[in-house]
Amino acid sequence: MSARYQNTHIVSIELQTETGKLMHALSLNKANNVNITIAIEFLSRSILRHLINESQVNPSYNNQRSLINIEKCSRNLLHIAKWSRTAIESNYETTTTNVISLGKLFQLRKQYLITGLGVDIAGEPFVRKNMPLDELLIGELLDFSTLTCPALAKSWFRFADWSYIWGRQLLARSIPLSSLDMGQQVRAILPAEVSSDEIVEISRILSSIRILNDDDSELTAAELSSLHSYRTDLSRACSLLTKHPILIEKLLALHPQFDLRRYFLLEQSCRAYFTYLQLSNGCFVSNEQARDKSVRYE
């Protein structure tokens, strides 16, 4: 009975996947008057239903069939992410407001995040503030795919690719603080006895630090020397800093060049890509071992 139940679910998710693909294909032709968000809503509802069913599955059920269902859900999340990209390019709004099941999927995703296997991208204020909502949703869908089926290498590759592209863009978007903002930030770090003139000079030094872009070549000897001299300049600007070096590090952290938040998505990209390589290498080794065995028994 249990095997029959799971077979039904496998057939069901395959039919729903193909139906969703058909809806998506129809939406690409404007003459059909089919909104692409209908396909996204349909497949989102399918994924939600099957993931909930799998989380409540009886231990006596065939585990292999359960893994097949979960992998199909993970692949369907990749489909939705791709279709959401198409929706953006077609000027359709794809949000959790007009695609209700997406919102429910993200609620389910939070339960996966509790396990500690993934990272809450939208939970990073710097990312959330500087990225369009549609793009953020795509990233969360790709991340959810890796959480759903961690053994699916394709999910990790897609997530790594997205994280790298947007990590580069966020890096390029980083804008130095204005003189006024810098002064306020400096004042918040330093003790009250530091004079206004010292605050102004420290702000000037921090604002003068050059931001290195990806297109920059290696630092010249003169640039490297200047980089090392900032700590000395800050110490000279305020004698108190000589006694409290930790304050110098806090001041340097105000500058975008030292703001680690800028590198969050690039860090995720590295993590995801190395996971992809490990999984791909594992598959390669398994295939090699299988081939060796077949040769051995011939």
Task: Note the pLDDT tens digit of each residue in 14-73.
Answer: 888 888 888 888 888 877 777 788 888 888 888 888 888 876 655 544 577 778 888 999
Buried b (16+ CB within 10 A) or exposed e, 61-94: beeebbebbbebbbbbbbbbbebbebbbeeebeb
Q: How far apart are CA 252 and CA 231, in angstroms?
A: 8
Q: What CA–CA distances, in Å, run from 55 to 109, 208, 225? A: 13, 55, 58
- State the maximum Cα–Cα separation within the chain, in Å, rounded to a whole number: 85
Q: Of 152, 54, 28, nearest to 111 (Cα)?
A: 54
Residue 133 pLDDT exceeds 50: yes
Report residue 155's pLDDT band, with 50, 70 and 90 as the boundaries: very high
Residue 290 pLDDT exceeds 70: no
